[in-house]
Amino acid sequence: MIKLKKSHHKTNASKTKSTHPSAKKQSKQTTTKPKIEKVNDSADNLRVTLPDEQKHATLKLKTGDNQSWNSLTATAPQAATVAQGVMEAHQTQHFKLKKGYTYVLKIGNTIGLKGSIGGRKMPDPATGVTVRSVTIVVN
């Protein structure tokens, strides 16, 4: 089997603690999760609406007992490959989805693969497909 080159775009958020009472309120305001909507009732065509203060959402992909070949490509405003390659079984990858961009996520083996955007579960496909192509518009 040939493994394709992968790009690792991981997001690490640093956490700081504060004893100031307003720090907790501010923290809750900035952790609002994005809204995920199916476009034309299709789980393969998603619109992600970010809260005003957020500039990106994290796409998390996690494989189960099987490996999966995946590709994430930005198609607008500028076309670019974000990542492509084989995710081994029980592997997790994180990618930043930027506000104002459109992406296409191609999944080569959906069996056991779990996905979330900004902490919200991605909708399951209507049928038990193995190969999937998902368009994600981030507003």
Residue-level pLDDT at 38:
96
Residue 103 has pLDDT above 60, yes or no: yes
- What is the rounded distance in angstroms from the CA atom of residue 13 to the CA atom of residue 7? 19
The strand order across the sheet containing 35-39 reads: 35-39, 42-49, 132-138, 102-107, 68-76, 80-87
Q: Identify the band that residue 127 occupies on the pLDDT scale cut at 50, 70 and 90.
A: confident
Quick one: average pLDDT of 9-37? 54
- Residues with Cβ within 8 Å of 80's Cβ and at least 6 positions away in sequence, in order, are 73, 74
Amino acid at 17: K
For the chain, the average pLDDT equals 84
